[in-house]
Amino acid sequence: MYKIYTAFERGRMFHVHPKLWRVMKLSFFICLIAFVQVSASSLAQKINLNKRNAPLWETLNDIHKQTGYSVLCDPEILSNAKPVTVKIKDGSLEETLKACFIDQPFQYVINQKTILITPAKSPVPILSESVAAIKLTGKVTDEQGDLPGVSIKFKDSNIGTISDAKGNYALSVPDGKGTLVFTCVGYLTQEIPIEGRTTINVQLKVEAKGLNQIVVIGYGTVRKKDLTGSVSSIGANEIKSQPINSFNQALQGKVSGVQITQASNAPGGGITIRVRGGNSISASNDPLYVIDGFPISVPVAANGASGSGASYANPLSTINPNDIESIEVLKDASATAIYGSRGANGVVLVTTRRGKLGQANIEFETYAGEQQVVKKLKLGNAMDHLNLKNEQLVNLGFPLRFGNPGGAYPQPVASYGEGTDWQREIFRTAPVQSYQLSITGGSDKVKYLVSGNYLNQDGIVIVNNFKRYASRVNLDATLSGHVKIGSNLTASRTVNNGVSEGLVAGPIYEALTISPASPVYAADGNYQLLNLGPGTGFASTPNPVAVQNTSTNLLTTDRMLGNVFGDFSLTEGLKAHISFGADVQNSFRNVFFTPQTLAGSGRNGYGSNGTSENINTLNENTLTYTRKINANHAFDILAGVTFQSNRLQTTYQEAENFPNYVLGANNLSAANTLDITSSRLEKWGLNSYLARINYRFKGRYLFTVSAREDGSSRFGANNKYGFFPSGAFAWRISDENFLRNNPAISDLKFRASYGITGNDGIGLYNSLPQYTIGKTVFNDIEVLTNQVSRIENPDLKWEKTAQLDIGLDAGFWNNRITVVGDYYSKKTSGLLLYVDLPATTGATSVLRNIGSVQNKGFELAITSVNIDKGANGFKWTTAGNVSYNENKVTALANGVDHYFSGLTIIEVGKPLGSFYGNVFDGVWQTTQQIAAAGPLAQAGSLPGAYRWKDVNGDGVYNESTDRQVLGNGLPKFVFGLTNNFAYKEFDFSFFLQGVQGNKIYNTFTTLIDAQYNHLKSYYENHWTQSNPSNTVGGIRQWVLPAVSNFAIADGSFIRLKNVTFGYQLPTFTKIIKKARVYFSAQNLLTFTKYSGYDPEVNGDFNSNTVYGRDNFNYPPSRIYMLGLSATF
């Protein structure tokens, strides 16, 4: 944009108009300097100057001081200014400017006490406003409202003006046949023919992808063209391009190097986010989330009863995505080292919207729709299941159980028919609705944003529901030319009526495994509790309809997140920033099972409740110094100190045997048996010192050095502080003379960085000794004892990640095509692993920093403007990205090359958490075949038994020794593709995303016994003498190995994630500035070979060593929505 030089020192910031603030966020290191109002001056005012080889900016500042005229210009163009030598006594403003601008590569316009300076174009006739004959007026706006500071020029002349704070302008021109040119950095230039009109209004469109786009980085911002690190950005327009309920949905498939997996598709369900792979075995692999400068902690939800689904809550669901201005993902060490011991897993920066200068601008958005289960599995019916059980009994030498006139269930199997479709019983068409209202506005002194949001989303599983109530107030106030203060405050409440998920728990598991012969209701009208009845031989699977309708699983979370800050201009280029903030979260979980559920029937009612209070406080203090020495040298320096602390307190109670169930878990004291009462208090603190230097030489050689020292209470006594440095270099090749005028290459930048970051997610007290209270008998008297359960480890420290990144940014044909590519290699050392201890210590093991993991890969992001026929013509743009990551364990404890964790193995040279088990090798067909195999056949094998491969080739099958790596749940490739189309008032977009190269462990396929229901294909394809299948064994009482490839499936998929069609409504009233209606559909199509509900699964989303297990997780829904957005 433009800079106003005033009587203050050059470079000092005083006041920023809100629209110019938007411009600053879209432009390259541009600031608006407010000015002190002086007495009115005129063109006739006399000026005295005596300069010899003086900088032009210094001369302009003297002119301002003598006349009161403000000077607007892009500070970067002044680097090309020639020194000024001038001697004027009692000269006019016009005479003085002409003398100063002789042979300068600029042109100027005088209008309304403002001197506008722009780069000179080809010589044009200079027309004086005094000879103009037509006066034009109008208003300039953008999508958000009034747009001040826009340059309006009469084409091929020096006649021009600037739009005022409300976007209004007035300009006199010689005739009505010319053209007005509207320009503003960060916006697309528009040329409008006058065509005899006297009023011309125009709306400028944001040039969001320009090199002058402002990118938020840790503790500051930088122009995209000056960025030395690897940072991916998502703007407000992209976030709002489709209806979303949590901001992680805006990142999925849109950002290279980031994999997001919906661990649970329940409303408010949990997520897994990995930035450039997983670094740790036992510490956290989650990125650091920073909301408006506040590094938040992922909270611990209040505890609930076992299997209540507490672990599947999404901590980001409390943040309203409609309030977000931008999301930046910091990926390499150059970008993340400023966050030190918390930067190893990447950093996600969320910046919320702020107030705008001008009258109140009201935005309203709403959408409503319905959700349907994407896919139902083809299961067997009642007759299939009963016949299978009969077949099993006959194979084992027992009589028929069903259809046997002398048995407990004499009615014919055919009389059961199809039975109960349990999927139809638990799934439903579910509504979703959202309402968002925001108000922005302000004056030169105070600007504000106030917003509110209400979301009500039913789940596709009966009873399940999620509600969010959110509000936000962001304020900015200018107290003087040197002092600004502001605040960010959001308050929210989420109410999650959740469902249990996982093996042997939850309605998904129950609906898939309960017998379809079992009815929903028994003959007495009450719920059928036991699976069909006693003596069936079926699993004790609960009735999912009864569980959902008569039990309670409610999680309520209240959150208050905010900070207050002050910005102080101390001297030329030197500014201070001080902030104080807090993140307070309180949650309450209420779980209750009545006797009508299987869990509560044997206990006469069973309930629990838990509470948690998490208080996170932060104080940050930074100094920034910015200096441009001359056209060749510019730098800025950041230094700061921060203090953060956290306090978590939880309580938990569990009881059973209730005399009545009216109040459920809300009155645990009414229970006759109080089983468990517990409480917990945890604290941690972090003191940090940070610094960063950005240096630019000739605007094309860019250097960044940053460092942070963290002192953490989590670390051992000998390692309380850790130091995390990084360095980066970038070379703007396209600014070199040999490429500067190349019409094909509009941007080319090489980047390289290296640095060290840490991971402090190691637990709070693992460095300290721990004692447990026990009991022993001494002299026939029971006494309490303190027993060592963990010894002290004063050397415990953070896990350390060293990362190299090499990148290339390119733009072609005026950036119609942009390409961003990165190669990275990072190695995490000092992994936290348990080492066995001698029994004499009293403890079994100790946590130590040993082992290492490597991630390396590449990322590619491409955008293109395929067709652009102008403002109202056809436009088609494309954005795509693909990421490849290769993960492997490079070292473990001394003398150890693998750890086996049941389902997966951690082995040197293999990816983290590879599935490890036996290899299915067909089905034994005949007794002769079994006899000939000898020890290769399991003892007791009969025709129809599962056959397993002799992996080690010793001639004997042994489950424990004949195992191998079966695949990995981590995908090799993650990708996304978006296409946007627009024509006049219509817009259309579709979004594809997917993964490739990963495996899924499908738990459902391991339940091969007749006590469970199965897929229809199992009934049709399992081995019998008349159907000698070699893919599915016969039905006896075979037991599969603990882990085998029988349950491993390909997890690759491509999904049509979103399709949106919109129409910009014509405005018939001055009250409504603009309005848009749209239709949006999500999860329309998924292309995959996976036989389960959905390939995007991670049932162990809190685990670092098990990734990609389908543990009867909540399936996704197909959503159809109608929406309306309007601005008033």
Average of per-residue pLDDT across 244-258: 89
pTM: 0.81
Residue 1030 has pLDDT above 70, yes or no: yes
**What's the confidence (pLDDT) of residue 31?**
29
Of 976 and 17, which is predicted with more confidence? 976
**Contact between 174 and 132 (Cβ < 8 Å):** yes
Q: Are strands 231-235 and 832-836 parallel, antiparallel or unpaired?
A: unpaired
Q: Which stretches does DSSP call E strand in 698-798?
A: 701-712, 721-732, 745-759, 770-778, 781-790
Indicate if the pLDDT at residue 989 is higher than 80.
Answer: yes
Identify the weakest region by mean pLDDT among 256-260, 346-350, 536-540. Answer: 536-540
Tokens representing 611 are: 């509470």
Torsion angle in degrees (nearest 10) through CA of 934, 938, 939, 945: -110
Residue at 1091 is within a domain: yes
Tell me, letter by letter, the H, E, C secondary structure of 934-955.
Answer: HHHCCCCCCCCCEEECCCCCCC
Give percent above pLDDT 90 in the chain.
56
How many whole angstroms separate alpha carbon 468 and alpha carbon 433?
11
Whether 241 maps to a domain, the answer reads no
Give the pLDDT confidence score for residue 124 in this predicted structure.
36
Pairing between β-strand 817-829 and β-strand 920-923 as defined by DSSP bridges: unpaired
The span from the CA of 1126 to the CA of 1122, in Å, is: 14
Does residue 858 sit within a domain? Answer: yes
Q: Say what the pLDDT of residue 15 is.
A: 37
Contact 639, 690 (CB under 8 A): yes
Tokens of 564: 């207050």
Mean pLDDT (the chain) is: 87
Residue ranges in 71-190 assigned as alpha helix (H): 93-100
Domain that holds residue 53: 1-120
pLDDT digits (tens, 9 = 90+) for 380-402: 999 999 999 999 999 999 999 99
Under 8 Å between Cβ of 350 and 324 = yes
Report the pLDDT value the prediction gives residue 74, as an integer from 0 to 100: 63
In degrees and rounded to multiples of 5, residue 1024 shows phi and psi of -140, 170
Buried/exposed 534-559: b ≥16 CB within 10 Å, e otherwise: eebebbebbbbbbbbebbbbbbbbbb
Tell me the pairing of strands 271-275 and 294-296: unpaired
Average pLDDT of span 826-839: 85
What is the pLDDT at residue 43? 46
What would you report as the CA-atom Rg of the chain, rounded to the nearest whole angstrom?
34
Token couple for 129: 């406003």
At 55, the pLDDT band (50, 70, 90 cuts) reads: confident
Residue linked to tokens 């037509």? 134
Is the CB of residue 84 less than 8 Å from the CB of residue 51?
yes
Q: In which element (H, E) is residue 984 found?
A: none
8 Å CB contact between 736 and 701: no
Ramachandran quadrant class, 758 (left: phi over 0; alpha: psi -120 to 50; beta: rest): beta
Which 8-state DSSP code applies to residue 388?
Answer: H
Rounded to an integer, what distance in angstroms lies between the CA atom of residue 915 and that of residue 917? 7
The pLDDT score that the predictor gives to residue 207 is 63
The DSSP call for residue 9 is P
1087 three-state secondary structure: strand
Q: Choose one of 74, 100, 120: the last residue of a domain.
A: 120
Q: Per DSSP, which regions of 599-632 are E strands?
A: 606-628
Which of 29-33, 314-318, 325-329, 506-510 is the least confident region?
29-33
pLDDT confidence of 499, banded at 50, 70, 90?
Answer: confident
Half-sphere exposure at residue 882, Cβ-oriented, CA atoms within 13 angstroms: 5
Q: Does the pLDDT value for residue 309 go beyond 50?
A: no
- Is residue 1018 pLDDT above 80, yes or no? yes
- The mean pLDDT of 193-197, rounded to a whole number, is 86
Q: Kindly state the average pLDDT of the residues 924-929.
A: 94
- 1105 three-state secondary structure: coil
Minimum mean pLDDT range among 306-310, 815-819, 849-853: 306-310
Q: Does residue 292 carry a pLDDT above 50? A: yes
Mean pLDDT for the stretch of residues 1092-1113:
89
Contact (CB, 8 A) for 430 and 462: no
pLDDT at 1: 38
Answer whether 377's CB lies under 8 Å from 387's CB. no
- Which tokens sit at 1041? 């190995």
Q: What is the total count of domains within the chain?
A: 2
Question: Which one-letter DSSP state was computed for residue 787?
Answer: E
CATH number at residue 976: 2.40.170.20
Average confidence (pLDDT) over 847-865: 94
| CA pair distance 178, 173, nearest whole angstrom | 9
Is 621 a member of any domain?
Answer: yes
- pLDDT at residue 252 is higher than 60: yes
CA-nearest of 613, 773, 619, 610 to 683 is 613
Cα distances (Å, whole numbers) of residue 43 to 69, 93, 115, 486, 696: 10, 6, 12, 39, 39
Per-residue pLDDT at 308: 41
8-state DSSP, 384: H
**Listing from the earlier edge strand, what are the strands of the sheet with 114-119?**
3-5, 70-73, 114-119, 106-111
CA distance 528 to 520: 6
- What's the CATH code of the domain at 99? 3.55.50.30
Q: Are 680 and 765 in contact (CB under 8 A)?
A: no
Q: Give whole-number Cα distances, 551 to 466, 592, 661, 979, in Å.
A: 16, 5, 10, 45
Query: How many angstroms separate the first and last alpha carbons of the chain?
Result: 27
Exposure b/e, 247-274, CB count within 10 A at least 16 = b: bbbbbbbbbbbbbbbbbbbbbbbbbbbb
pLDDT of residue 307: 38
More confident residue, 126 or 542: 542
Domain contains 159? no
Amino acid at 622: T
759/337 Cα distance (integer angstroms): 11
Q: Which of 120, 142, 172 is the last residue of a domain?
A: 120
| Residue 16: per-residue pLDDT | 37
Q: What is the pLDDT of residue 239?
A: 86
Of 120, 139, 174, the one marking the end of a domain is: 120
Flag whether pLDDT at 963 surpasses 60.
yes
Q: What is the 3-state secondary structure (H, E, C) of 100-116?
A: HCCCCCEEEEEECCEEE
Backbone angles phi, psi at 634, to 5 degrees: -150, 145
Pairing assessment for the beta strands 1048-1050 and 1053-1065 based on DSSP bridges: unpaired
Using the predicted structure, report yes or no on whether residue 134 has a pLDDT greater than 70: yes
Residue 13, pLDDT above cutoff 50: no
Residue 622 has pLDDT above 60, yes or no: yes
3-state class of 960 per DSSP?
coil
* Lowest mean pLDDT, pick from 124-133, 323-332, 616-625, 705-714: 124-133
The pLDDT assigned to 413 comes to 96
Please report the pLDDT score of residue 765 as a whole number.
87
* Mean pLDDT computed over 1111-1127: 94
With contact defined as beta carbons under 8 Å apart, do 361 and 439 qualify?
Answer: yes
- CB 1096, CB 1109: distance < 8 Å: no
Residue 612 lies in a domain: yes
Q: Is residue 432 situated within a structural domain?
A: yes
Q: What is the pLDDT of residues 345-354, one digit of tens each?
A: 999 999 999 9
Q: For residues 517 and 514, give the distance between their C-alpha atoms in angstroms, rounded to a whole number.
A: 9
> Whole-angstrom Cα distance, residue 314 to residue 316?
5
Lowest mean pLDDT among 305-309, 443-447, 579-583, 1056-1060: 305-309
Residue 164 to residue 201: CA distance in whole angstroms: 14
Any domain includes 925: no
Q: Measure the CA–CA gap between 505 and 515, rounded to whole angstroms.
A: 16
The pLDDT value recorded for residue 2 is 41
User: At which residue do the structure tokens 């920093």 appear?
Assistant: 849
More confident residue, 477 or 264: 477
The pLDDT value recorded for residue 1061 is 97
Which helix (H) or strand (E) element contains residue 357?
none
